[in-house]
Amino acid sequence: MAYSRVIVFDTTLRDGEQSPGCSMNLPEKLQMARQLDRLGVDVIEAGFPIASEGDFEAVQSVAEGIRRPIVAALARATRDDIKCAWEAVKKAARPRIHIFLATSDIHLDYKLKITREEALNQARESVGLARSFCDDVEFSPEDATRTDLDFLCAVVEAVIDAGATTVNIPDTVGYTTPREFTRIIETIQQTVRGIDRATISVHCHNDLGLAVANTIAAIEAGARQVECTINGIGERAGNASLEEIAMALRVRNDVMPFETGIVTSELYHASQLLTEVTGVAVQPNKAIVGRNAFAHEAGIHQDGVIKNRLTYEIMTPQSVGVPESTLVLGKHSGRHALGLRCEQLGYQFSRRELDRIYKRFTALADEIKVVEDHHLTSIITSELEEAAA
């Protein structure tokens, strides 16, 4: 089977950093950028240079220090923003200017207070200016999924004519659904003159919990760049999660013939580093990198995993950089998991002895939720002392 390559555009350092509590200083951004490089992302969006002097310096440092990936800088569709973005990334081995301008009527009327025609001209002119500095220019019609579809197609066509090499279709407020997004991407492909000269990208937010599903739908409809973040961090409910997209395409390549350049064994390390840098913990049940993603407590599940991991694990923990699965000993655990943990601690018991230990174990588990090794050792010691008395 032939696999189509999907470009991974990571915006952890820009959109992700805009998430409340997730700001990073320059050394932290550089540390995270190095990990993104090891992870194999194709594009690092390093920041929004005109936002502050610190952001400019961070983008400039990433552009000068990280040589393999494309390094992108974000800019509004204004001359000052675009010139500032270019100054920040011009020393990159592979620089990109990423311009955005809102196109939905609600944004045009209430935020920008300009007409559709004015927005169309501004988009065209800004891309032309960016191309005078840089051969790699991306354009995003902000709030694309709430933009009139005919007007969206007109904007996309105009910016491609002006020289945009990537056209990103953002679901800025996480409003769309997979079927609707499929229709938007397919319509752009079928009706925009010159669409073959640009890569279609998507940037999905997670306000309805559909960011990854919408991203996958867009890939299947023809998008070949995905914009995402580590741990799904970002504005409001966050962005599409890089680790979820990468592993969905890898695990289900039987139905999705796509590939990325992501080194999946670096995913967990990237997640842990981001948590360390920002101080924002990952929810325990977060797919792929959460504490419980490869943890099993229910007795039936533990028994299955002990016999064959494929019974309840669709990927190995090592494939994402997690050292090993864990069998959590709690009130739902069964004798098989308890017996295995006792053996790992150096104890062998008959079925009758294990039954007595199991009775003590479940009584304790009802009280403290998770039975750690020192609790179990205490139970075993007490049982052995009583048996010897």
Is 360 within the bounds of a domain?
Answer: yes
Considering the domain architecture, whether residues 302 and 255 belong to the same structural domain is answered as: no
Neighbours of 59 (CB within 10 A): 32
Q: Which two structure tokens, joined as six digits, stand for 132?
A: 């005078």
The owner of tokens 């009139």 is 148
- The amino acid at 72: A
pLDDT digits (tens, 9 = 90+) for 265-288: 999 999 999 999 999 999 989 999
pLDDT recorded at residue 269: 94
pLDDT digits (tens, 9 = 90+) for 151-188: 999 999 999 999 999 999 999 999 999 999 999 999 99
Q: Which two structure tokens, joined as six digits, stand for 247?
A: 């592993």
Instruction: Give whole-number Cα distances, 112 to 77, 138, 171, in Å.
Output: 12, 21, 18
Is 180 within the bounds of a domain?
Answer: yes
pLDDT recorded at residue 45: 98
User: Which residues of the chain are modeled with pLDDT < 70?
Assistant: 1, 297-299, 303, 305, 309, 327, 389
The domain boundary residue, chosen from 250, 278, 306: 278
Considering the domain architecture, whether residues 366 and 270 belong to the same structural domain is answered as: no
Q: State which residues form the domain around 101.
A: 4-278
- The amino acid at 95: P
The domain boundary residue, chosen from 278, 311, 331: 278
Considering the domain architecture, whether residues 304 and 173 belong to the same structural domain is answered as: no
Structural domains in the chain (count)? 2
Considering the domain architecture, whether residues 107 and 216 belong to the same structural domain is answered as: yes
pLDDT recorded at residue 330: 82
pLDDT recorded at residue 327: 66
pTM: 0.88
Look at phi and psi of residue 71 and say left if phi exceeds 0, alpha if psi is from -120 to 50, else beta: beta
pLDDT recorded at residue 384: 83
CA 46 to centroid of chain Cα atoms = 15
- Inter-residue contact 126 to 99 (CB < 8 Å): yes
pLDDT recorded at residue 133: 98
pLDDT recorded at residue 135: 98
Is 266 within the bounds of a domain?
Answer: yes
